[in-house]
């Protein structure tokens, strides 16, 4: 059960030896999509040096257009695993179909993307696994709907759910989505589950990532998810919002400076 009433203590999720929640703050960084061995290993080394605790990379991509790059699929997971072996960073990747679960064996934190937040069969099946799950908020879902989706996973016996706010659809078009930072205090009141903020997908443009990453940290998020690419203009997915490794280093420095002063709940 995700309800705070039954859990006084914040949940600490152990992701391949890296702790998230209950005072443990982590940055998950990496490319939107795994594109090649060189790309993912290079980005992994860079983000690790800057202080990221986990590596992200999409292998199965939920693209709006069926003609857009769909990901390297199983090969993408293998390349992430290589990057994990080289750097020691636990890996995070999105699952779209439960039939792919065996391929996700090396993945330390399985992501359910915004588009699948209410894929109840997928959630139920993930509830029967022992992998920590990163549950992104749906494009147009309320906080209560999101928590019910977390409970679909938890009802199967898998209590290790981390929530990720990635922006919601509003009338505003200057940002890709609208980052709902107010989820932080609301969720801290309603649930013991950790909350990660993803300013990359919420804002959609790299220049907006730093201020919102700083704000999310100050507001008491348990971590951040930030997209980093070796060559953003040529990224196969989400280049506009991706930071260069140098820009990520600058954001990470700012975030780690703020973290000791962050709001506590
Ligand atoms: C992603 O993390 O690359 C992704 C597709 O995110 P979202 O589900 O938040 O759009
Ligand atoms: Mn992306």
pLDDT in tens, 121-158: 999 999 999 999 999 999 999 999 999 999 999 999 99
Query: For residue 146, what are the domain limits?
Result: 4-261
**Structure confidence by residue, pLDDT tens digits, 72-83:** 999 999 999 999
**Cα–Cα dist 190/173, whole Å:** 30
Whole-number Å distance, alpha carbon 24 to ligand 1 midpoint, is 23
Query: How many angstroms does the Cα of residue 106 sit away from the middle of ligand 2?
Result: 21
Round the average pLDDT of the chain to a whole number and report it.
98
Residues with CB under 5 A from ligand 2 (ion): 32, 238
Nearest to 244 by CA among 47, 52, 56: 47
* Closest CA to ligand 1's atom 3: 32
Cα dist. 255→101, 177, 242 in Å? 34, 22, 17
Which pLDDT value is given to residue 158? 98
pLDDT at 207: 98
CATH code of the domain covering residue 36: 3.20.20.70
User: For residue 32, how far is its CA from the centre of ligand 2 (angstroms)?
Assistant: 4
Q: In Å, how far from its chain's centre is CA 167?
A: 12
Instruction: Report pLDDT for 108.
Output: 98
Q: Residue of the nearest CA to atom 1 in ligand 1?
A: 32
152-205 pLDDT per residue, tens: 999 999 999 999 999 999 999 999 999 999 999 999 999 999 999 999 999 999
Whether 136 lines ligand 1, by a CB cut-off of 6 Å, is yes
The predicted pLDDT at position 59 comes to: 98
Query: What total number of domains does the chain contain?
Result: 1
Q: Ligand 1 within 6 A of 58 CB?
A: yes
> What number does the ligand 1 atom closest to the CA of 113 have?
8
Atom of ligand 1 nearest to the CA of 62: 5
Distance (angstroms) between ligand 1 centre and the Cα of 239 equals: 13
This complex has an ipTM of 0.99
Does the beta carbon of 137 lie inside 6 Å of ligand 1? no
* Of 189, 199, 161, 207, the residue nearest 263 (C-alpha): 189
Could you say which ligand is closest to the alpha carbon of residue 114? 1
Express each pLDDT in 55-94 by its tens digit: 999 999 999 999 999 999 999 999 999 999 999 999 999 9
From the CB of 201, is ligand 1 less than 6 Å away?
Answer: yes
Nearest-ligand number for the alpha carbon of 202 = 1
Question: How far is 254 from 83, CA to CA, in rounded Å?
Answer: 26
- Taking the CA of residue 136 as reference, the ligand 1 atom at the shortest distance is 9
Cα-to-chain-centroid distance, residue 104:
16
């Amino acid at each position: 059960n995700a309800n705070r009433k039954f859990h006084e203590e914040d949940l600490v999720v152990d992701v391949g030896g890296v702790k998230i929640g209950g005072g443990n703050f982590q940055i998950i960084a990496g490319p939107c999509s795994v594109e090649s061995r060189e790309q993912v290993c290079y980005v992994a080394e860079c983000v690790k040096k800057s202080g990221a605790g986990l590596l992200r990379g999409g292998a199965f991509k939920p693209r709006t257009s069926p003609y857009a790059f769909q990901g390297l699929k199983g090969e993408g997971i293998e390349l992430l695993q290589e990057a994990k072996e080289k750097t020691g960073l636990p890996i995070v990747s999105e699952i779209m179909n439960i039939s792919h679960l065996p391929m996700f064996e090396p993945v330390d934190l399985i992501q359910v993307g915004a588009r699948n937040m209410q894929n109840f069969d997928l959630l139920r099946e993930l509830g029967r696994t022992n992998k920590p799950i990163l549950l992104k908020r749906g494009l147009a879902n309320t906080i209560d709907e999101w928590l019910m989706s977390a409970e679909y996973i938890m009802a199967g016996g898998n209590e290790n759910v981390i929530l990720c706010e990635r922006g919601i659809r509003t009338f505003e078009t200057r940002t890709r989505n609208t980052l709902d930072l107010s989820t932080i205090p609301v969720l801290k009141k309603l649930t013991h589950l950790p909350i990660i903020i993803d300013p990359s997908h919420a804002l959609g443009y790299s220049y907006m990532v730093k201020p919102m990453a700083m704000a999310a940290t100050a507001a008491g998020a348990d971590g951040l998810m930030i997209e980093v690419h070796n060559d953003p203009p040529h990224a196969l997915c989400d280049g506009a919002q991706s930071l260069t490794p140098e820009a990520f280093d600058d954001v990470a420095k700012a975030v780690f400076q703020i973290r000791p002063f962050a709001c506590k709940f």
